[in-house]
């Protein structure tokens, strides 16, 4: 792991130390009081390998979608990001999921759940770049080869998209999207180098065009009873599925660092959104960062210093790390099989199989100015009846209750 810059270490040391854990989350968390805002992130795995495939699944009777809806009905967040929810321009999949699943009581779930507001938009996954991004000598192709040459890996445009659902009004006109931001403009960005040749991985033609965000980065302003909250959401690429050049690991780190830059004051003329507005978030703005960031602070692949730097940013609230009994059970089970974890077992948010084990990849990070009232990971123990609805995805919902 790379060392943090000296000035960031000094900033981090000047702040109170973060608490390492909190009490295990109950499988059926009570809905927050009116004075609090419950914010969540959930990688739902609601995607298909064919365009329109998710729409077809939701038009039928999807057991998968029922489980995802049941978890949301149990936790009942006021504001939630759904990662890996395929995007279609007519938002047909989002409408079907809300009407047929969330707004209908599900087995193992709770009462129907209605969100009056939502935001979704285009993402880079599956969108052809017209460039040879995997350096196989061919532009496009079939299957994974075609996906590797998209702006973000995907088999069709919109795969692995994002969907924001909210009880409170979303200021759609003020949303900022950074889908088109070029990676090469990012401060300190380095074109990955292939150690076998000593040459940059991306050609001199491709590198200036390559987009940073593998899906998109959105700043979604939400008008809550306590004022405007900027919901900063993203889903960086996994730092795997590459080679010794580490192109996905480096991209994951800089996708995470985009939020660090967005929160840092100062003139940033390179940081321009898709509408041409430049600069970061206002110094007095309240925010919540949410998403599957695909980076554990200590375990697994990736450049861990990127997520640590975000967790320790002076504008991010220090709060207990969310935990679950089911996550601890799973992580300890892997440890017994020889897959050791350096981080706290109870803090994991997903089960990624016998090669990777369980890791903490999903985050809800509020800004200073909030009072943290509690939170957790919806991951009941295997003996709990609610374990039957918690396996709809390899990730588990993470939530935080924030006093306004």
Give residue 13's pLDDT band: very low, low, confident or very high (50, 70, 90).
Answer: very low
pLDDT tens digits, one per residue of 128-161: 999 999 999 999 888 889 999 999 999 999 999 9
In a domain, 148, yes or no: no
Q: What is the pLDDT of residue 160?
A: 98
| Separation CA 112–CA 100 (nearest Å) | 10
In a domain, 205, yes or no: yes
In a domain, 129, yes or no: no
Average pLDDT (117-125) is 98
Q: What is the pLDDT of residue 14?
A: 35
In a domain, 340, yes or no: yes
Q: What is the pLDDT of residue 140?
A: 86
The answer to whether 65 and 54 have CB atoms below 8 angstroms apart is: no
Name the residue with tokens 């795969």: 159
Give residue 20's pLDDT band: very low, low, confident or very high (50, 70, 90).
Answer: very low
Q: What is the pLDDT of residue 266?
A: 87
CATH number of the domain within which 328 lies: 3.60.10.10
In a domain, 290, yes or no: yes
| Separation CA 347–CA 26 (nearest Å) | 14
Q: Of 322, 98, 364, nearest to 232 (Cα)?
A: 364
Q: What is the pLDDT of residue 32?
A: 54
Give residue 33's pLDDT band: very low, low, confident or very high (50, 70, 90).
Answer: low
CA angle (178, 295, 182) in 5-degree steps: 25
- CA distance readout (Å), 83 to 31, 136, 148, 397: 22, 30, 20, 10
Q: How many Å separate Cα 167 from the centre of its chain?
A: 20
In a domain, 113, yes or no: yes
The answer to whether 241 and 153 have CB atoms below 8 angstroms apart is: yes
Q: What is the pLDDT of residue 6?
A: 33
Q: Please say if the pLDDT value at position 30 is more than 70.
A: no
- Which residues, in sequence order, are bridge partners of residue 376? 399
Domain that holds residue 376: 6-123+158-403
Burial of 180 (0-12, 13-18, 19+ CB in 10 A): middle
Look at the alpha carbons of 173, 276, 148, 192 in this order and tell me if their dihedral is positive or negative. Answer: negative
Average pLDDT (362-373) is 97
CA angle (334, 65, 68) in 5-degree steps: 50
pLDDT tens digits, one per residue of 182-228: 999 999 998 999 999 999 999 999 999 999 999 999 999 999 999 99
The overall average pLDDT reported for the chain is 92
CA angle (172, 183, 121) in 5-degree steps: 25
Q: Please say if the pLDDT value at position 168 is more than 50.
A: yes
Q: Please say if the pLDDT value at position 363 is more than 90.
A: yes
**pTM over cut 0.85:** yes
Q: Of 214, 209, 220, nearest to 184 (Cα)?
A: 209
Buried b or exposed e, range 162-173, using 16+ CB within 10 angstroms: bbbbbbbebeee
In a domain, 136, yes or no: no
Q: Please say if the pLDDT value at position 2 is more than 70.
A: no
| Separation CA 122–CA 212 (nearest Å) | 15
Average pLDDT (1-5) is 38
Give the count of beta carbons closer than 10 Å to the beta carbon of residue 143. 9
Number of domains in the chain: 1
- Which residues, in sequence order, are bridge partners of residue 292? 362
Q: What is the pLDDT of residue 9?
A: 33
In a domain, 198, yes or no: yes
Average pLDDT (95-106) is 98
Q: What is the pLDDT of residue 142?
A: 87
Q: Please say if the pLDDT value at position 7 is more than 80.
A: no
Q: Which of 11-25, 177-191, 201-215, 251-265 has the lowest mean pLDDT?
A: 11-25
Average pLDDT (271-290) is 97
Look at the alpha carbons of 256, 260, 263, 269 in this order and tell me if their dihedral is positive or negative. Answer: negative
Compute the radius of gyration of the chain from its Cα atoms. Answer: 20
């Amino acid at each position: 792991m790379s060392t943090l810059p000296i000035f960031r270490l000094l900033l981090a040391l000047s702040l109170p130390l973060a608490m390492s854990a909190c009490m295990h989350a109950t499988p059926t968390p009570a809905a927050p009081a009116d004075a609090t805002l419950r914010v969540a992130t959930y990688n739902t795995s609601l995607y298909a390998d064919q365009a329109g495939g998710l729409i077809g699944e939701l038009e039928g009777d999807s057991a998968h979608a029922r489980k995802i809806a049941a978890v949301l009905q149990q936790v009942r967040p006021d504001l939630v990001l759904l990662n890996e929810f395929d995007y279609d321009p007519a938002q047909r999949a989002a409408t079907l999921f809300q009407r047929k699943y969330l707004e209908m009581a599900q087995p193992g779930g709770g009462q129907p759940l209605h969100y009056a507001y939502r935001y979704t938009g285009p993402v880079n996954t599956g969108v052809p770049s017209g460039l040879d991004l995997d350096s196989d000598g061919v532009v496009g192709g079939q299957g994974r080869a075609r996906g590797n040459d998209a702006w973000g890996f995907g088999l069709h445009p919109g795969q692995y998209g994002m969907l924001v659902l909210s009880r409170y009004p979303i200021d759609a006109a003020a949303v900022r999207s950074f889908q088109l931001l070029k990676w090469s403009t990012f401060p300190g960005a380095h074109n990955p180098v292939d150690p076998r040749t000593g040459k940059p991985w991306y050609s001199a033609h491709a590198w200036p065009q390559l987009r940073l965000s593998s899906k998109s980065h959105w700043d979604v302003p939400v008008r809550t009873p306590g004022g405007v909250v900027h919901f900063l959401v993203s889903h960086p690429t996994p730092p795997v599925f590459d080679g010794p050049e580490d192109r996905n690991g480096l991209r994951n780190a800089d996708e995470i660092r985009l939020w660090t830059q967005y929160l840092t004051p100062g003139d940033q003329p390179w940081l321009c959104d898709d509408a041409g507005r430049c600069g970061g978030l206002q110094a007095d703005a309240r925010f919540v960062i949410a998403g599957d960031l695909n980076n554990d602070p200590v375990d697994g692949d990736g450049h861990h210093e990127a997520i640590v730097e975000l967790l320790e940013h002076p504008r991010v609230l220090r709060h207990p790390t969310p935990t679950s009994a089911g996550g601890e059970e799973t992580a300890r089970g892997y440890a017994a099989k020889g897959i050791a974890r350096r981080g706290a077992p109870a803090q994991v948010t997903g089960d990624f199989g016998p090669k990777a084990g369980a890791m903490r990849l999903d985050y809800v990070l509020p800004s200073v100015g909030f009072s943290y009232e509690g939170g957790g990971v919806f991951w009941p123990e295997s003996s709990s009846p609610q374990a039957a609805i918690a396996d709809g995805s390899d990730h588990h919902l993470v939530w935080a209750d924030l006093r306004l």
